[in-house]
């Protein structure tokens, strides 16, 4: 896959993006020949429609892409991407019809539409190339697209080829490419280094659990990203039914998202000190699996009663978040495919997040609109803290009743960062359940572009 916008090209075919309600007036302004061509083609300007117009000698002269109506555009994140695959291979430039404030989004969507997961089967599709529109930072858009492709590839890879060791390899490859430092604590060494819950969750697998710790940058504010790296989740002894286990290769989506965000940050050269922590495990079933009613002691010293071994993500994140807080960063962000409750609340397309920092929330919401990466703020509702306190231990990993599951999970994680820390937690889905423009069915980056765009405000860069 080529992930780049073309530089200026005098031979690039012009694209005119036409609103559905303006097709007839636009065509009439072009003269009789083009007007007749548009009319006879039946082009109506619908989103996803494209039309190539040829000259008198049969050569392509221009292309039209439908921009739909205002109501339809609200439902479509990347309008040009919906039509891009219908254009013949070649180089194109946007000649008219896209508002200036949408050019970056549309250029990004064009790149994202060129993705295919071809690790196991060659794709062979040649996609058209877009000349970078005036006023768009080609490097920035390219960095975002490459990072999204990284996340998609990691999530789409089946667990047979994406276990804790392979996730570590992906982190090492990123570190090596950008002169970052990386260390990894593996297996029983997790106990020696006081990461007991990461070890407990991962010990039943033949693939050793580990904590991946990557750092980059020597100057600026400190940012620590923590990503859930459960490479496959059987549910443990609270075994998932087959239908629920089918997508569990994506349960390391939080790790994939923080690695992608790290790649954006590093490739863009942001002036900050970055740390990435990934607890990488497989939640398997064996004779030494942890059990319901076990009580675990975390790195922070808080005890946790296990009432469901399928609520394991918050356990491994807890130890990693404790380590993150010990470094006293300016901002901690966790990303995890954590709860089904979040999906029930907002569906698969929105990335819900929790923070007590109103300024951070405002920055994230504005950034999400700029980069077409929708997010939604959820509350750390203090009144629900009682739900995660079981009585015989400090915390309950799976409160009974089923109410407010995303909130109680976030409240659980909050216990492992000190009150002084600025903390944002994302409970993402990490998956597109069906094809959409620039977002094919499969692994998805969610919330990471919004975070990347908001970082200058969040950290005063």
Give the tens place of pLDDT for each residue, 378-431: 999 999 999 999 989 999 999 998 899 999 999 999 999 987 789 999 999 999
Same domain flag for 251 and 392: yes
Q: Does residue 3 fall inside a structural domain?
A: no
Same domain flag for 35 and 146: no
Same domain flag for 294 and 149: yes
Residue 314 annotated among the catalytic residues of the structure:
yes
Phi and psi torsions of 153, nearest 5°: -60, -45
Last residue of a domain, one of 136, 153, 180: 136
Q: Does residue 301 fall inside a structural domain?
A: yes
Q: Does residue 412 fall inside a structural domain?
A: yes
Residue 436 CB contacts under 8 Å (≥ 6 apart), including other chains: 77
How many residues can be counted in the chain? 461
Number of domains in the chain: 2
- Position 124 scores a pLDDT of 77
* Structure token digits, residue 382: 């203090």
Measured N-to-C along each axis, helices 138-156 and 103-112 cross at an angle, to the nearest 10 degrees, of 40
Which CATH number goes with the domain that contains 27? 3.40.220.10
Q: Does residue 333 fall inside a structural domain?
A: yes
* Structure token digits, residue 440: 């094919």
* Structure token digits, residue 227: 């990503």
Contact criterion met (CB below 8 Å) for 132 and 5: yes
Q: Are strands 91-96 and 210-216 parallel, antiparallel or unpaired?
A: unpaired
Same domain flag for 69 and 155: no
Q: Does residue 2 fall inside a structural domain?
A: no
Same domain flag for 62 and 115: yes
Last residue of a domain, one of 70, 104, 136: 136
* Structure token digits, residue 90: 């070649």
Q: What DSSP character marks residue 334?
A: E
- Position 418 scores a pLDDT of 84
Sign of dihedral through CA atoms 306, 312, 316, 317?
negative
Q: Does residue 298 fall inside a structural domain?
A: yes
Same domain flag for 120 and 160: no
Which CATH number goes with the domain that contains 309? 3.40.630.10
Contact criterion met (CB below 8 Å) for 196 and 188: no
Same domain flag for 122 and 147: no
Quote the CA–CA distance of 420 and 31 in Å, as a whole number.
Answer: 67
Sign of dihedral through CA atoms 111, 337, 376, 356?
negative
Quote the domain boundaries for residue 373: 141-458
- Residue 172 region by backbone torsions, left for phi larger than 0, else alpha for psi between -120 and 50, else beta: alpha
Catalytic residue among 240, 273, 370, 377: 240
Same domain flag for 232 and 127: no
Residue 29 CB contacts under 8 Å (≥ 6 apart), including other chains: none
Same domain flag for 108 and 216: no
Same domain flag for 77 and 160: no
Instruction: Dump pLDDT digits (tens) for 82-122.
Output: 999 999 999 999 999 999 999 999 999 999 999 999 999 98
- Position 1 scores a pLDDT of 65
Residue 18 CB contacts under 8 Å (≥ 6 apart), including other chains: 26, 45, 64, 65, 66, 67, 97
Q: Which residues of the chain have pLDDT under 70?
A: 1-2
Last residue of a domain, one of 77, 104, 136: 136
Quote the CA–CA distance of 136 and 70 in Å, as a whole number.
Answer: 23
Residue 33 annotated among the catalytic residues of the structure:
no
Same domain flag for 351 and 447: yes
Catalytic residue among 210, 314, 422, 439: 314
Same domain flag for 352 and 291: yes
- Position 360 scores a pLDDT of 97
Q: Does residue 129 fall inside a structural domain?
A: yes
């Amino acid at each position: 896959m080529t992930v780049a916008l073309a530089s200026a090209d005098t031979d690039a075919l012009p694209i005119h993006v036409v609103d559905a309600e303006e097709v007839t007036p636009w065509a009439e302004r072009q003269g009789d020949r083009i007007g007749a061509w548009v009319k006879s083609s039946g082009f109506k300007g619908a989103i996803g429609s494209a039309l190539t117009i040829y000259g008198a000698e049969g050569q392509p002269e221009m292309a039209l892409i439908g921009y739909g109506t205002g109501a339809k555009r609200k439902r479509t994140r990347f309008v040009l991407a919906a039509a891009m695959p219908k254009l013949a291979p070649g180089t194109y430039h946007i000649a008219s019809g896209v508002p200036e404030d949408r050019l970056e989004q549309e250029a990004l969507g064009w790149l994202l539409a060129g993705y295919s997961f071809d690790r196991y089967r060659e794709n062979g599709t040649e996609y058209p190339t877009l000349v970078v529109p005036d006023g768009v930072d080609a490097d920035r858009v390219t960095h975002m697209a490459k990072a999204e492709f990284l996340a998609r590839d990691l999530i789409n890879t089946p667990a047979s080829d994406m276990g804790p060791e392979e996730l570590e390899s992906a982190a090492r490859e990123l570190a090596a490419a950008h002169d970052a430092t990386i260390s990894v604590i593996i297996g029983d060494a997790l106990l020696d280094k006081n990461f007991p819950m990461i070890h407990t969750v991962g010990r039943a697998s033949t693939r050793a659990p580990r904590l991946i710790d990557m750092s980059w940058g020597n100057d600026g504010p400190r940012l620590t990203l923590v990503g859930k790296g459960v490479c496959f989740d059987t549910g443990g002894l609270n075994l998932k039914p087959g239908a629920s286990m089918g997508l569990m290769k994506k349960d390391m989506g939080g790790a994939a998202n923080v690695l992608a965000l790290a790649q954006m940050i590093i490739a863009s050269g942001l002036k900050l000190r970055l740390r990435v922590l990934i607890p990488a495990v497989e939640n398997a079933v064996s004779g030494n699996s942890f059990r319901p009613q076990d009580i675990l002691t975390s790195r922070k010293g808080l005890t946790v009663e296990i009432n469901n071994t399928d609520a394991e993500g918050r356990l491994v994140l807890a130890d990693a978040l404790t380590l993150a807080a010990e470094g006293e960063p300016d901002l901690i962000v966790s990303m995890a495919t954590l709860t089904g409750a979040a999906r029930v609340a907002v569906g698969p397309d929105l990335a819900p997040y929790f923070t007590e920092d109103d300024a951070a929330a405002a920055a994230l919401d504005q950034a999400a609109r700029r980069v077409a990466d929708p997010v939604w703020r959820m509350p750390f509702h203090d009144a629900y803290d009682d739900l995660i306190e079981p009585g015989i231990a400090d915390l309950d990993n799976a409160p009974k009743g089923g109410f407010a599951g995303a909130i109680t999970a976030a409240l659980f994680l909050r216990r492992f960062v000190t009150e002084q820390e600025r903390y944002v937690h994302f409970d993402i889905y990490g998956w597109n359940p069906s094809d959409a423009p620039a977002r094919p069915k499969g692994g998805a980056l969610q919330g990471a572009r919004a975070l990347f765009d908001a970082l200058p405000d969040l950290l005063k860069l």
